[in-house]
Amino acid sequence: MNLEDLKKIREKAEKDIELRQKKTRIKIVVGMGTSGIAAGAREVLKTFVEEISNRNLLDVVVTQTGEKGLASQEPMIEIFEEGKPVIVYGNIDKKKAQGIVENHIVGGRPVMEYVIEAK
Amino acid sequence: MMEEICAHIMDITANALSAGAHYIVISIEEDHERNLLATRFNDNGKGMSEEMIRRVTDPFFSTKTGKKVGLGIPLLKGTAETCGGTFSLTSKLGEGVDIFATFALDHPDLPPLGNLKETIIVLIVGNPDVDFSFTYTKDGNKFSLDTREIKDIIGDMPVNHPEVVKFLTKFLDEKTIFV
């Protein structure tokens, strides 16, 4: 893989309507303050990045943010979806993150046992 | 102390991001012959005043304002000083922050580097509007990646597009320096 391959990916995406980025439907925000990082937020962020790209979810983005302020429940994530309450999940690990993608992001059903707040 | 040097990298970067940086330079050098691990962070965020610098580097210094300061910098400074290294931070308001921390590679308390490859990917993909320049040197081998170069090629295709993420992952997987 080199930058030439990246050019090909770009050209392919230009032609192929299936590969075009769609309007963002869901935004996943992972808390990355000191306590979140110490509690394993990077692994959680990586899991979301991997799951989203492997499933070719073109309308989902995952980003990082600073301290969430509830150190005891880190790693914490928030799911923003238009017209729906913001769902806050706490104590997330790799396995739970996979479950959230499967059930919530793809299936549309929040995983109630990890939800700490809906706002 | 953080469990991995990569956790420090994430943490210092998080500070730069909250200071509004849109270009962050991170370089890591591992040199076994000189028994040295050196890390440098440079950002173009809003920078720090002298008082702020004192607050983030001296855990006993406090002000009446009680404004929250992250623990990332004192933690990195603590790790460097515990592990036979040095720490320096230079900054001016409006001019970003430059942090240089070194460690003795053979120090028994030095945390492992951790997964640098993964760290690079999550920083790039998790902050699509920010540019990063990464340099990793290990005993003379050098890897460098500047996201501005990537973004020049992909144009209006976002850096967090699944195809770009797959490319970045494969691109880094093929670099033997990370093994």
Of B17, B155, B165, the CB nearest to A53: B165
ipTM of the complex: 0.90
Nearest residue on chain B to A55, alpha-carbon basis: B162
Q: Which of residues 23-82 of B touch A (CB under 8 A)?
A: 70-72, 75
- What per-residue confidence (pLDDT) applies to B153? 96
Nearest chain B Cα distance for residue A110, angstroms = 22
CA distances in angstroms from B91 to A100, B39, B40, B95, listed in the order given? 41, 17, 13, 7
Considering the four listed CATH numbers 3.40.30.10, 3.90.1640.10, 3.30.450.20, 3.40.50.2000, the one that applies to the domain covering A21-118 is 3.40.30.10
Q: Is A63 on the interface with B (CB under 8 A)?
A: yes
Nearest CA in chain A to B165: A53
Quick one: pLDDT at residue A71?
A: 66
Q: Which residues of B are less than 8 Å from A58 in CB distance?
A: 161-162
Number of domains in chain B: 1
A67-89: pLDDT as tens digits: 666 667 989 999 999 999 999 99
Q: What is the pLDDT of residue B69?
A: 55
Residue burial B30-62, b: 16+ Cβ < 10 Å; e: rest: beeeeebbbbbbbbbbbbbeeebbebbbeeeee
Report if residue B99 sits inside a domain: yes
Q: Which residues of chain A are within 8 Å of residue B127 when distances are taken between CB atoms?
A: 63-64
Q: Confirm whether B13 is domain-assigned.
A: yes
pTM above 0.90?
A: yes
Interface of A with B in 97-116 (CB under 8 A): none
What is each CA distance from B50 to A41, A111, B33, B56, B57, in whole angstroms? 31, 47, 36, 10, 11
User: In which region does residue B114 sit, left (phi positive, over 0), alpha (psi from -120 to 50) or beta (all else)?
Assistant: left
Q: Cβ separation of B171 and A2 shorter than 8 Å? A: yes
Query: Would B117 be classed as within a structural domain?
Result: yes
Q: How far is A115 from chain B (nearest CA, A)?
A: 22
Q: Look up the domain containing B51 and give its range.
A: 5-173
Q: Is B179 inside any structural domain?
A: no
- The answer to whether the CB of A89 falls within 8 A of the CB of A77 is yes
Residue B12 to residue B42: CA distance in whole angstroms: 10
Chain centroid offset of residue A71 CA: 20
Q: How would you write the pLDDT of chain B (179 residues) with one tens digit per residue?
A: 788 999 999 999 999 998 999 999 999 999 999 999 999 999 999 999 998 898 888 766 555 454 555 678 999 999 999 999 999 999 999 999 999 999 999 999 999 999 999 999 999 999 999 999 999 999 999 999 999 999 999 998 999 999 999 999 999 999 999 98
Mean pLDDT by 10 residues, chain A (119 residues): 92 82 90 87 95 94 79 90 95 97 97 95
Contacts of B149 in chain A (CB under 8 A): 3
CATH number, domain of B116, equals: 3.30.565
Q: Do B14 and A66 touch (CB under 8 A)?
A: yes
Q: What's the pLDDT at A55?
A: 95
Residue B178 in any domain: the answer is no
Contact B153 A10 (CB under 8 A): yes
